[in-house]
Amino acid sequence: MDIRANFSLRPYNTFGIDVRARHFAEFRSLGELQELLEYIEDKQELRKNDTMVLGGGSNVLFTSDVDGWVIKNDLPGIEQVGTRDGKVLVRAGAGENWHGFVMHCLDQGWSGMENLSLIPGNVGATPIQNIGAYGVDMAQIFEVLEAWDIEDRKLVRFTRSDCSFGYRESYFKHEGKNRFIILSVTYCLDTVPVFHTTYGPIQEELVKMGVAELSVRAISDAVIRIRSSKLPDPKHIGNAGSFFKNPVVSKEAYGIFLQKYPDMVGHELPEGGVKLAAGWLIEKAGWKGFRRGDAGCHQRQALVLVNYGNATGTQILQLSQEIMDDVHHKFGVHLEREVNIY
């Protein structure tokens, strides 16, 4: 068990924020996790809000040092665990890289997650955030997950209904926050593909690519091209992808908006309401490309806040608040942060 003190988290968060953890350790098995938690408890430091589990660090903004424990989830493994009604059940360890897992599934001819290609982060974060893109979210392919209950010291299985999935929401962001450590997630994928190409610019990109015969690989390639053209690579510019959620308004409110802004982007939801494009609102408010010091709003995608080098988490958080306040002032729409603030 390798425990490090006063440990820099800069390489472990995609914003590249230079903060430190009082204690840091990694685990690659349930046994290592149990041993680590027992050690922390023996030190009388296993307190609910003082122990943070870190995955890929792709949806986190650190605003200060972590005066407690950061334990990194590196649980590996991908395996087929069953079939049902022409579908396949595939389990992945929480520490597996999400995009690598998606590519593995496509290589096997399994479909359902191609629209979620190139989303940064690890498997363990996908049910917490209920990640989604281009008309598909993780809840649609979710089967079950296994987690370790820190309080009751036991393995727990969560079904889809247990997880309370919503738009970028789940049980693990609220009632279950800091109590459960996700160990693995099982997904239910199609062996006969069902294509989702109507949301966003996928069809347009497929035409540009000259795709004559639609396939899950072609959809994945189109999504990768779109994301790569709009979103900065965290290896070069610190960011966490989409910083804000797309707000939802009533159809009536959207109709009123269209009278004033005919080019306003919105997508009707099956359950009612219209999801507005937060990026459009932010760009229309004049923030796209804005930079103050090393904290900025990306020049190609206004939904993305960036660290150009040495911005602090506090500076990025302050910029996000200014954007939220300005969008509300100009449009009367409340934006919410998608990124988790620590």
Catalytic residues: 168, 242, 338
Query: Which residue, among 175, 120, 182, has the nearest Cα to 156 in the 3D structure?
Result: 182
Alpha carbons 322 and 171: distance in angstroms, whole number: 29
Place of tokens 């347009």: 204
Closest alpha carbon to 306 in 322, 295, 315: 295
Residue 39 in tokens:
């050690």
How far is C-alpha 270 from the geometric centre of its chain's CA atoms?
22
Burial class (CB in 10 A: 0-12, 13-18, 19+), 58: buried
> Is beta strand 4-8 parallel, antiparallel or unpaired with respect to 20-27?
antiparallel
Helix ranges (H only) for the chain are: 30-42, 98-107, 126-129, 160-163, 202-209, 216-230, 251-260, 278-284, 313-331
